[in-house]
Every structure is written in structure tokens, then in C-alpha cells.
Amino acid sequence: NAGVMQNPRHLVRRRGQEARLRCSPMKGHSHVYWYRQLPEEGLKFMVYLQKENIIDESGMPKERFSAEFPKEGPSILRIQQVVRGDSAAYFCASSPRLEFGEQFFGPGTRLTVL
Amino acid sequence: ILNVEQSPQSLHVQEGDSTNFTCSFPSSNFYALHWYRWETAKSPEALFVMTLNGDEKKKGRISATLNTKEGYSYLYIKGSQPEDSATYLCAFLNDYKLSFGAGTTVTVRA
């Protein structure tokens, strides 16, 4: 059973461009979470999705950020019109069930905005 | 925002020595506490999910205890080895969201 996959591992964008980060959860996992690690900071919750539904996006900036987890295919975190402050490592985690919430993390995507 | 604190921020241990460090979290509305091990350039790896006051869990030379009434958990490493060098994160589960501490970075010197 392959682990959580994220791609790309590294992404470089210029200010104003769009960034798309993909996350394929572990097989059989229907819960997906996105976390962000800003430089010199810890992991911070952004958004929680189940298939086709956003359950909680309270940690995600209201502007420019969006997330989806379609019925088929990976979860996508999309950042429009990136700014330098978006430079961070973005981690995806998945879990098979909600109880106690054990989450399995992907290797992360490191976004650099020039 | 839930306040999850870990101390110390970092520590250096001689190979073969044992060590421990703490995680403190809100003692109200407790549901679960997670411990993760995070090596550089790898994914955070789940160590323990702790749910009951007085829980003690063990995986090899690493063990953890939980006190939900006073809001703290200890992680212990017995007989540290160089491969134990990593950042150890605790995370408080509130609803379905994990609130992470900043981590304790352990460096084991050979």
C-alpha cells in the first residue's frame, strides 16, 4: 500500500502566478488534510476535506487559496496570484476514519515564490 | 487556536543515554494526543495516538505517557542511538484537526 503521495516535491513560481499542489491519499482513505509550514514555524492546519466536500477550511486564507478533493483523482490545493509570503512547505495527510484521527503524512511540496 | 507547547526546543544526547521531553496541551475537552517523529526531508511518521488518562505506549526504545487531567505528555527514548535523531512533534486532536507543537529536535551524538 503506497503512502500518501504529493507532487511536485518542489515548485518555483514567480509572483502573480498560480500554484497547484496535488495530493493522492493512501488507498482507502477518504479524509484529506492540508497543513502549511512557514519558515521557522510549526505545522498549521489549513483545510480538511472528504470526497467532494470541504468540511473545514478555517485555517486557509480567505483570498487566493482554494482546495478540492474530487470524486476521482487527487486532492488539489490551489494558490492564485502567489506572493512571497506563500513560500512554505505544504503537507498533505490522509486518514481512513475520523475516530482518534491518526493521520498519515506525505513528503510535502516546497513552494518557493520568487 | 489551541496552545500546544513542547520543551525543550532542542536537546543533544550522547549515544546510549536516555532522555525525555514534554508536551503540554489544554486539559479541557481532551480527545486524543498524537506523537510524530519527523526526520529531515521525510514525512512526519506517526508514533503514538494516546487517548486515555494514564495511557502508556511503547514502540521499541521509545515510550510515551499521558496525563489528561494536568495536560501533559512525556516522550522517553531509552538508550539513544544516532538513528533516533529527529524532530518529535506532539499534536492535540480537537474535533478532527491536529494542533501541533513546535517540536523537540533531538540530536544523538555518537
Q: Within 10 A of A108 (CB to CB), how many other CB atoms are there? A: 25
CA distances from A39 to A6, A36, A50, A102, B84 (A): 20, 10, 28, 25, 24
Rounded to an integer, what is the distance from CA A25 to the centroid of its chain? 11
B96: chain A residues, CB-CB within 8 Å: 31, 33, 48, 55-56, 98, 101
Q: How far is CA B17 from CA A64, A97, B61, in A?
A: 49, 38, 12
Nearest CA in chain B to A102: B49
Reply yes or no on whether the pLDDT at A1 is more than 60.
Answer: no
Specify the pLDDT at position A98: 67
Tens digit of pLDDT for each residue in B70-107?
Answer: 999 999 999 999 999 999 999 998 877 889 999 999 99
pLDDT digits (tens, 9 = 90+) for B3-24: 899 999 999 999 999 999 999 9
CA B94 to chain A, closest CA, distance in angstroms equals 9
Provide the chain B residues 34-93 that lie in CB contact (below 8 A) with chain A: 34, 36, 41-46, 49, 51, 89, 91, 93
| Chain segment A65-107, per-residue pLDDT in tens | 999 999 889 999 999 999 999 999 999 999 987 676 789 999 9
d(CA B68, CA A60): 29
Surface of A (11-50) touching B: CB under 8 A? 31, 33, 35, 41-45, 48
The maximal CA–CA distance of chain A, rounded, in angstroms, is 41
Residue-wise DSSP of A11-57 = EEE-TT--EEEEEEPPTT--EEEEEEE-TTS-EEEEEEEETTEEEE-
Residue B109 has pLDDT above 90, yes or no: yes
pLDDT digits (tens, 9 = 90+) for A8-47: 999 999 999 999 999 999 998 999 999 999 888 889 999 9
